[in-house]
Structure 1
């Protein structure tokens, strides 16, 4: 567990890295990817050659005996909700970082991108139940608070229940939001709850996984433990059937996740802990624009 000084240092490191990415890479892409509710009247200005005649404000034109056009701007005021898996399996990692570290950085990038576009950001931490709710707000201090919580929060339970989390959110959220659901998606069924959420909100799943979630190296007899149940057992990783079964289990969860998001009409990104998440996010934003 990090002490206060270590948490503050880590928050600062994440702020510098992710805010820099937001300023130089993601700000425009985010704005284009997530549109506002529509266009609202902003002001009038003098008519210029080439302006659409349909935008002429005839009342103002008649009053000043000179053509004026209406200027409209996009209504943003969007709410971004981060639904973050804090279960014990998210602390697993064997490459550059564990899944929790990657999720924290992803949340920071998304949050800074949102507030740069004057959007609100809220968070739900979940395990096999709802752990903590941070209401949507704007501002840098709010984002830094979210990052501190991501680094320091200790869940009361170890398991994962995506279905109940989505049910809670569906009941609690009255306003349409942009929702990022970040998890390894390695347990449970959640199709019906995801269908409802995707109809009401702009829903995006981010599946974060480690290479060792997917495959076992042939390193001999090892003791493994389920991070969420605590159950342990000895397995022989030199046995090809054991490794194939392990890979098959991961593939089943991954395919269920992919199908669930596809059926609901929601979108899904998949990012491995040793991969460049910058490229993955940029590709996602550009594809939506």
Structure 2
């Protein structure tokens, strides 16, 4: 993509996502994530209307009566975007590639953050951490983030979510809200995710293209793995081959679902061929309960 094209794309994303952040997400973002960036103050008895997530279960069990933790809101929150830019992000069967879809999501979250006077930082990763953009505020900073997402070319194509999470946990000392944005085509990242979520407030945004779910019968097709470069010719008209692919995809989704459940990380699935506004609003509202 040429520089002029990137600038036009950045501007287009800014216009669209600033409006969404202001009109749709600002309030939901504040209630769903702002409250996580607080310092502990005291424990008091539960009152009607208190959030269930604030219940102190240890104190409640000790006194056989519900108690909640009381927090003092910090003046600003650090929001981190951990963004997967591996080879699979250049896949797309509809009108948009996953990479462009992710850039737009990142912009929405970034503008929501600065509207709440929060800092926003980014970790771009593949099979290694490719780039770290320290948390800052301001429109200029967000435009840089969008531009990097559209034009940055990773030096590696694979995916290692554990490595990115370990880097994040070691780099960001202050408790923050983190959005892990990926298609999660990876394994064995559950321990790193659990550790990160204990130190920070992690939410997972799983991006997928509808064309990834099934293998259509198109005869002999040459496939190239975008992350390994491996090439294979597969007979897609074979029912056995289509079933093998479907079972692989289902196993991957099962691992992802179980990992998010086990680690206590809230997750939302976002399809590139659908509007992400309603799923995100619903996701934010759920976290606010």
TM-score by length of 2: 0.86
Map of 1:279 onto structure 2: 278
- State the match for 2:38 in structure 1: 37
Question: What's the offset of the Cα at 1:188?
Answer: 2.5
Q: Structure 2: which 5+ residue stretches go unaligned?
A: 42-71
Corresponding residue of 2:17: 18
Q: Which residue of 1 aligns with 2:249?
A: 250
Equivalent positions of 1:1-289 (< 5 A) are 2-34=1-33, 35=35, 36-37=37-38, 74-289=73-288
Report the Cα offset of residue 74 of structure 1: 4.4
**Which range is displaced more, 267-276 or 111-120?**
267-276
RMSD: 1.5
Contact 1:186 1:250 in 2 (8 A): no
Query: Structure 1 regions of 5+ residues with no counterpart?
Result: 41-72
Displacement of 1:252 in angstroms is 1.2
1:208-255 CA-partner distances (Å, limit 9, x unpaired):
011122111111111111001111111111111111111111111111
**Aligned partners of 1:214, 1:260: CA distance in 2, in Å?**
20
Q: TM-score with structure 1 length normalisation?
A: 0.86
CA distance in 2, matches of 1:114, 1:264: 25
Deviation for aligned residue 1:99: 0.9
CA contact 1:205–1:267 (8 Å) conserved in 2: yes
Instruction: Note the alpha carbon deviations across 1:96-151, whole angstroms, 9 max, x for none.
Output: 21111111111000000000000000000000001000000011111111111111
Moved over 3 A (4+): 73-76
Larger Rg: 1
Distance in structure 1 (CA, Å) of the matches to 2:188 and 2:39: 35
Q: Count residues with an aligned counterpart.
A: 256
Q: CA deviation at 1:76?
A: 3.9
